[in-house]
Amino acid sequence: MTAPRGPAPGGLAPGDASPGSRPAGAIDPRGPRFAAGMTSLVLAAVVVTGSWWLLALQALLFATTVALGPGRGPWGLLFRRVVRPRLARPTWWEDPAAPRFAQLVGLLVVGTGLLLVAVGVPGAAVGSAAVALFAAGLNAAFGICLGCAAYRVLLRLRTHPAAA
Amino acid sequence: MDPVSSRLLVLLVVVLAVVLVGGVWRAREHRRGRQAFAPPASDPRRRPLVPPTETAPVGLDGLGRTATLVVVGTRSCSDCARTLALLRREVQDGEDVLVHHVLAEQAPGLVDRFEVRTAPTVLLADAAGDVIGVHPGPVDADVARQALVELSAGRVPFGAPAAGTARAAVVDR
């Protein structure tokens, strides 16, 4: 087949994300943003209270979402069952791989904080929660997912090592 | 300062940092989106979307009667999906203007020819399938519409590119 000519038959590329077509496994992009908002609330509570067990709860939420995927994590389920039915159909769909990686990054950040708390480092819970809150807040308020950006950079480096 | 006050101060600093970084980031993206299409990188001559010797990438299913916009993206790129949805909603016009989505990993020839370094990169092709404009990053719908107006008025390719200018624009993003 050479250069395409004539009208398109309307086929969709893998990973395509147009209105009305939901690629297999794709998620509503508003779900991760909702999750980021809820995560921000928990992390803000950790920053204000300095509570290590709240931080541990957040680590558990991150771990569950990493294991089950953004669509099936606790906040993902809440979004699907309670929030999404009240919203219009999304205009595009998102691949869950990047948001899932972002949750893993969050888990690493708060996990490190918990480890430091365990060895008695003062302010570790607040410090790690503040770092995670910055990222979650950016996602919730502006739709900027730092973990997703890191995922894409890693993917590009893996595909084109010369780009490093 | 007591512990509660210091924690509240930390929270305030984080909130301010989010507002500042997010605001600057979004403003920068908005400016990028408003930039006009540049001529194809490194070679001012018209270039076919798919040369006769190549197979059309998956997703590039046809040409619009007057123009074709191709969003070159990656599977995990949410900006690509958002840009595609925006262009299909706001710019696609029956069979006159078609908007396609091509995955960069499935179109190495296209990526190489137009020096795609950013996901998404939007390519604008004329009725013959020759790329006349390249836009690294998400494009504003008004910018795309304006480019189509210029294409209809025969005001393309978009001026003679200064040597290396378009190339730098693609690589630097």
With a cut of 50, say whether residue B162 has pLDDT above it. Answer: no
Radius of gyration over every alpha carbon of chain A, rounded to an integer in angstroms: 19
Q: For B16-48, what is each residue's pLDDT tens digit?
A: 999 999 999 999 989 988 888 888 866 655 588
Q: Are B63 and B127 in contact (CB under 8 A)?
A: yes
Burial class for B145, CB neighbours closer than 10 Å (0-12, 13-18, 19+): middle
A137 at interface of B, judged by CB pairs closer than 8 A: yes
pLDDT of residue B95: 84
Q: For A99-151, what is each residue's pLDDT tens digit?
A: 999 999 999 999 999 999 999 999 999 999 999 999 999 999 999 999 999 99
**Most A CBs within 10 Å, among B61, B72, B100, B116, to test the A interface:** B61
With a cut of 60, say whether residue A82 has pLDDT above it. Answer: yes
pLDDT band (50, 70, 90) for residue B170: very low
Q: For B67-120, what is each residue's pLDDT tens digit?
A: 999 999 887 788 888 899 999 998 888 889 999 999 988 888 888 888 888 889
Burial class for A100, CB neighbours closer than 10 Å (0-12, 13-18, 19+): buried
pLDDT of residue B113: 86
Of all residues in chain A, the one with the smallest CA distance to B74 is A15
| pTM across the whole model | 0.78
With a cut of 90, say whether residue B151 has pLDDT above it. Answer: no
With a cut of 90, say whether residue A12 has pLDDT above it. Answer: no
Residue by residue, what is the 3-state secondary structure of chain A? CCCCCCCCCCCCCCCCCCCCCCCCCCECCHHHHHHHHHHHHHHHHHHHHCCHHHHHHHHHHHHHHHHHCCCCCHHHHHHHHHHHHHCCCCCCCECCHHHHHHHHHHHHHHHHHHHHHHCCCCCHHHHHHHHHHHHHHHHHHHCCCHHHHHHHHHHHHHHCHHHC
Mind telling me how many Å the CA of B13 is from chain A's nearest CA? 9
Q: Which chain A positions have a beta carbon within 8 Å of B21's beta carbon?
A: 134, 138, 144
